Amino acid sequence: DKGGLQAQSADGKYSFKLGGRVHADATYSNDDKFLDSKGNPSEANDGTYIRRARMRFDGVFDKDWFYRTEADFADDSVAMKDIFIEYRGWNWGTITVGQQKQNFSRELQESSNDLMFMERSLMDVLNTDTVDRAIGLNYQTKGKGLISSNDAWVAKLGIYGDSIKPSRTGTEPENDYAGDEGWAVSSRLTYNPILEKDKLIHLGVAGNYRTPDDTGDVAESKALRYRYRTTNNQSNLTVLDSHDIKDVDNFKMLGLEGAGMYGPFSAGGEYTHTWIERKDGSEDLSFDGWYAEAAWSITGESRSYKEGNFGYLKPKNKFSLKNGHWGAWELATRWSEVNLNDREFRGGQMSQLTVALNWYINENVRFMADYNRNFNFSNPAVTTVGGGDPDALDTFMMRGQVAF
Amino acid sequence: DKGGLQAQSADGKYSFKLGGRVHADATYSNDDKFLDSKGNPSEANDGTYIRRARMRFDGVFDKDWFYRTEADFADDSVAMKDIFIEYRGWNWGTITVGQQKQNFSRELQESSNDLMFMERSLMDVLNTDTVDRAIGLNYQTKGKGLISSNDAWVAKLGIYGDSIKPSRTGTEPENDYAGDEGWAVSSRLTYNPILEKDKLIHLGVAGNYRTPDDTGDVAESKALRYRYRTTNNQSNLTVLDSHDIKDVDNFKMLGLEGAGMYGPFSAGGEYTHTWIERKDGSEDLSFDGWYAEAAWSITGESRSYKEGNFGYLKPKNKFSLKNGHWGAWELATRWSEVNLNDREFRGGQMSQLTVALNWYINENVRFMADYNRNFNFSNPAVTTVGGGDPDALDTFMMRGQVAF
Amino acid sequence: DKGGLQAQSADGKYSFKLGGRVHADATYSNDDKFLDSKGNPSEANDGTYIRRARMRFDGVFDKDWFYRTEADFADDSVAMKDIFIEYRGWNWGTITVGQQKQNFSRELQESSNDLMFMERSLMDVLNTDTVDRAIGLNYQTKGKGLISSNDAWVAKLGIYGDSIKPSRTGTEPENDYAGDEGWAVSSRLTYNPILEKDKLIHLGVAGNYRTPDDTGDVAESKALRYRYRTTNNQSNLTVLDSHDIKDVDNFKMLGLEGAGMYGPFSAGGEYTHTWIERKDGSEDLSFDGWYAEAAWSITGESRSYKEGNFGYLKPKNKFSLKNGHWGAWELATRWSEVNLNDREFRGGQMSQLTVALNWYINENVRFMADYNRNFNFSNPAVTTVGGGDPDALDTFMMRGQVAF
């Protein structure tokens, strides 16, 4: 991408790139006075925040070795994102070592710089704490012409430990019992029967298996917990909460993906199912979630797509007052649901409708406006002030974004 | 500035710059054994510290879009500073979105790389927690030739939410009630009846209005509090302390500025007045502070100045043993006061005299030595070991600075 | 080094460099179920972790002024490393101001990017909290031809306050009594009777004296404490622990170094002795530690060496599948011991045997495999589940490293 700082050695074998992103948000919620599960007043936070502020170092060494380290500093704290080394000198595929996203869900794989909506869907409640970044070893390979000359596929398989965080407890550990790390295997396969610049069909399937920390005769350091907070980082309003799910022996996840694009129009969806196997007499659990989305590039552009994931909408004409160009405009809508209820277990269930209007100034700057309606509540984590389930929670959000 | 890492695209529409700063300090205080308000021994910390250690990414995208993100890592923690996007493609002014300094006080606007003194004045006690950086939307415009062909003005107007920090409470929030963010409007207008390279007059006026977080029937997350700690980050000795000021409905601030420069001589001052309106029967409060400063560039340089703020003193001849050049030397003095007493309210009052000797090696390296005398105490936050107000507290500080 | 991002001004007086490193590790310990000193189950953590993730800014301003700031973000927190300004324009030596390593121990001075073993030796238990980085002023000078035309020496002398951390207690200090900082002097002298590219003898001696924080009639903020945790950051298993050593008046340290290299073979060792003088009737203490190591570059390279420290092993032929080159391979072994027992004082004692196999892909990428056997325990911080000292603890570690 133009605009980031890039440098290359004369022989082309070494290169380097600095990247970064800023997502500056404002949010407002309507009729948001609730009581939390302890009966305390609870409210979605209205105001401004920095959703992401990242710096990234990228590089290629001796042609075959790629490297990335990216840190997020929003909220005045550090959250390391990608930290990996990748070997690209082998014909049969790419090997990646370090912290990286696990192989699951198109929505999760796509960069927050590129997504059409300010936040991921309700389905992501099942994915964000289970198949997001972890430290591991991944193998990726891809091909063309499997069936016809116009198709393509990508296959990934990885084995993972945990992410950076869970291995430490407290800042002054002194024989804190941390136990051994758990491990996971995940795989994602995508296939495009049709793959052209302005026309494509995307199909995908992914699976994940994880065994949590070895617990022995000592409790696990961190129980599994699924939650939905309105407008993730900003608001403290937890609308859905499974609370701690203990005695987890392992869990399995299945993901299904489908999408299509025809010129400026696109539609797609995903489904995630999670099976949690528990021990010591605790009941097994089964949750699921899904979303369906549709988008229209008002100014006529087709979305970019690469190896199983959609990318940034590049405007045909960059915004310019002088030249009378208005960049690209995009209208998108999404319906998503998540269900954390299973027989007697009441983690809650809800639906969300999102409508988004996006303005792509150029390849680096974008403005977004999102409207979210959360509703169809069953066993949510909040009640109305008078008692009883809320009817709906409406949130309006805006974002200014720079990325390179 | 020469020395930072800069790159530009061939067509000049894209550019990028890496910046950074290190301020490495040592400090020593004399006769500094006191008792704090609880009667515990209290002392200004003598020793070494890193006052600032920052990395910055700057960039221009497609000519009109400027971007900045800067993080401070001193004290082994993250403090995000500027994080904003700026549109400069419009003839009638500049629009800035993101975290940025609010429009108040020349001393606050000027970079810590450029200030003649190692720390801001006592007046800054009123400004640092109220009109420093916040997330918001700012509009800036400027002009020349308002009255004669030799004058200039700059006008700024912004609306702000809060800064990064206050919106979160704790690291594992679970329906913590955060309430909605407050908001503020601030504006600063500066005017130069005379504006030449070595001769100028600076006049300024600024206003700020802020309503703190909406509290509803729940207490505010953070009360207003004014404090002065000797040599800000290093010493834990809080000499002046208003303690928590609760029930704040809103506060208003007025700032007045004046300065003049004639060749190597300059003088200036500022005044800040704060009116706090309170509710629930709490008494309204009114505080003020000011400083006056004078400086002489011994080696003859004039200070740089741009759009309402003074900048770095660029040496005529960079320091060089070989060429027998000694860089630039500057002598500066400042008197400042702050008064947090209002009728029965006893937040304390004090004066400070500062003398500074600065050595500008080149455009990137500077060494500073400051002597501070704090005195004229009335209701300070410390007492002498024998009881009673301290007579004076003398602090000597030195700094090595690199900035680019 | 090739590969990092570098830029230079046309006149060569200004330059800039971005650096970074990633150390991604996995570790596994055998028979590691113990009880800690409170009788709680305790275990070495098996799993993956990011040992180091750093970003660095380096620069030269006006030819004579060097600058560096480096931050580590592993574990989702900030740890500032080098932050200093260096004046190189003087013929008689170099002056460095800021946070830097103190002058002690070759093993400590050598970069973690270059060391032959994944972690420093048991001897480092005595050094890591006492002579690692601190804020101070250092003077360095060097020469050649002291005795013959083929020898060389380096001398360093520095005075130091504390490192970044100890000066703060808590995040919301309010007249916390921090006391004044302690100070230290350290000096290291190395001499090479023989110094050729593939043949050298290294001799070194270092001394350190430190007086901890002034305590007056108030307790010190941080007691001296020596500990060994298996595979430093990853595992919480503290195998050796002196616990808090209070009433320290001062401590003195002596370090002795010797090493030799002949073509692809090298051997070396170090010894550290610490004398702790205590007051208020507490007994003085005396500890020591040492290591001896030997290495063989299987592919024939000689190790690099510069001014008292060994560097990275640069492969004769970079790894390349196409050209049939396999990079450099290195086999190394180390025996190390530390003794924290002194008369009645029982801090513990142990030995460690390390065997390492390293694969140097090119100047930027390296893979490491280490086997550690900890044994010869006397008064360790853990016991077996049945009671009694452990026999041995075996740990196997692997690392993928990128550095530039």
Q: Is residue A346 part of a domain?
A: yes
A33: pLDDT confidence band, cut at 50, 70 and 90?
confident
Q: Which of the four pLDDT bands, split at 50, 70 and 90, describes residue A166? A: very low
Q: Is residue B207 part of a domain?
A: yes
- Alpha-carbon distance C366 to nearest alpha carbon in chain A (angstroms): 11
CA C252 to chain centre: 19
Contact A24 B161 (CB under 8 A): no
> Is A171 a member of any domain?
no
Which strand (E) or helix (H) includes residue C3? none
Mutate to test the interface with C, among A61, A72, A80 (most CBs of C within 10 A): A61
Which of A237 and C114 is assigned the larger pLDDT? C114
Bridge partners of B211, per DSSP, are B183
Cα distances from C287 to residues C105, C271, C281, in angstroms, run 16, 11, 19
pLDDT tens digit string along A351-374?
A: 999 999 999 999 999 999 999 999
pLDDT tens, residue by residue, C2-37: 556 777 888 888 888 888 999 999 989 888 888 888
In this structure, the number of other CB atoms found within 10 A of the CB of residue C292 comes to 16
Cβ contact, residue pair B62, A18, below 8 Å: no
> B113 touching C, CB under 8 A?
no
- SS3 readout for chain A: CCCCEEEECCCCCCEEEEEEEEEEEEEEEECCEEEECCCCEEECCCEEEEEEEEEEEEEEECCCEEEEEEEECHHHCCEEEEEEEEECCCCCCEEEEEEEECCCCHHHHCCCCCCCCCCCCHHHHHCCCCCCEEEEEEEEEEEECCCCCCCEEEEEEEEECCCCHHHCCCCCCCCCCCCCCCEEEEEEEEEECCEECCEEEEEEEEEEEEECCCCCCCCCCCCECCEEECCCCCCCCEEEECCCECCEEEEEEEEEEEEEEECCEEEEEEEEEEEEEECCCCCCEEEEEEEEEEEEECCCCCCCEECCEECCCCCCCCCECCCCECCEEEEEEEEEEEEEEECCEEEEEEEEEEEEEEEECCCCEEEEEEEEEEEEEECCCEEECCCCCCCEEEEEEEEEEEEC
* Mean pLDDT across C208-236: 70
pLDDT at C76: 83
Q: Which residues of C touch A162 (CB under 8 A)?
A: 47-48
CA distances from B287 to B188, B248, B272 (A): 20, 14, 8
> Within an 8 Å CB–CB cutoff, is residue C231 touching chain A?
no
What's C359's domain CATH number? 2.40.160.10
Split at pLDDT 50, 70, 90, the class of C170 is: very low
Residue showing tokens 């302890």:
A38
**Is residue C204 in some structural domain?**
yes
Q: Are C53 and A61 a contacting pair at CB < 8 A? A: no
Residue C344 is given by DSSP the state T
* Mutation site, A171, A226, A236, A241, interface B, largest B CB count within 10 A: A236
| CB nearest B217 (choices: A41, A42, A45) | A41
Query: Is residue A145 a part of any domain in this protein?
Result: yes
Interface with B, mutate which of A1, A2, A5 (most B CBs under 10 A): A5
Among residues B306, B297, B363, which one has the least CA distance to residue B332? Answer: B297
How far is it, in rounded angstroms, from Cα A250 to Cα A285? 11
Is the pLDDT score of C178 beyond 60? no
Mean pLDDT across the stretch C96-115? Answer: 97
Stretch C356-363: mean pLDDT: 97
Nearest residue on chain B to A2, judged by CA atoms?
A: B14
Mark yes or no for CB contact A45/B173 under 8 Å. no
Residue C347 lies in a domain: yes
Task: Report how far residue A115's alpha carbon sits from residue A310's, in angstroms, rounded to the nearest whole number.
Answer: 8
Q: Check whether C264 has a pLDDT greater than 90.
A: yes
Helices and strands in chain B: count of H runs, count of E runs: 1, 25
pLDDT lower than 50: segments of chain B = 1, 166-177, 215-219
Structural domain includes residue B79 = yes
**How many structural domains comprise chain C?**
1
The one-letter amino acid code at C41 reads: P
Quick one: pLDDT at residue C280? 85
pLDDT grade for A305, boundaries at 50, 70 and 90:
very high
Is residue C55 less than 8 Å (CB to CB) from chain B? yes
Exposure class string for B163-198: b at 16+ Cβ within 10 A, else e: bbebbbeeeeebbbbbbbbbbbbbbbbbbbeebeee
* 8 Å CB contact between A142 and A176: no
Stretch 274-333 of chain A: residues touching chain C, C-beta under 8 Å: none
One-letter amino acid identity for B90?
A: W
What DSSP string describes C273-308? EEEEEE-TTPPPEEEEEEEEEEEEETT-PPPPEETT
Is residue C390 a part of any domain in this protein? Answer: yes
Q: Which residue has the tokens 């921090």?
A: C178
Share of chain A above pLDDT 90, in %: 67
Cα–Cα distance measured from residue C114 to residue C120, given in angstroms and rounded to the nearest whole number: 11
Which of B225-234, C118-127, C151-160 shows the lowest mean pLDDT across its residues? B225-234
In this structure, the number of other CB atoms found within 10 A of the CB of residue B336 comes to 26
- Does A135 touch chain C if contact means CB atoms closer than 8 Å? yes
Q: Give the residue numbers spanning the domain of C60.
A: 5-166+177-403
In this structure, of A136-150, A301-315, A344-358, B327-341, the range with the lowest mean pLDDT score is A136-150
- Residues with Cβ within 8 Å of residue B243, at least 6 apart in sequence: B225, B347
Tell me the Cα Rg of chain B: 22
Residue C374: strand, helix, or coil: strand
E runs forming strands in B212-284: 227-229, 238-241, 248-262, 265-278
**In this structure, are residues C25 and C118 in contact, taking their beta carbons and an 8 Å threshold?**
yes
pLDDT (0 to 100) of residue B188: 98
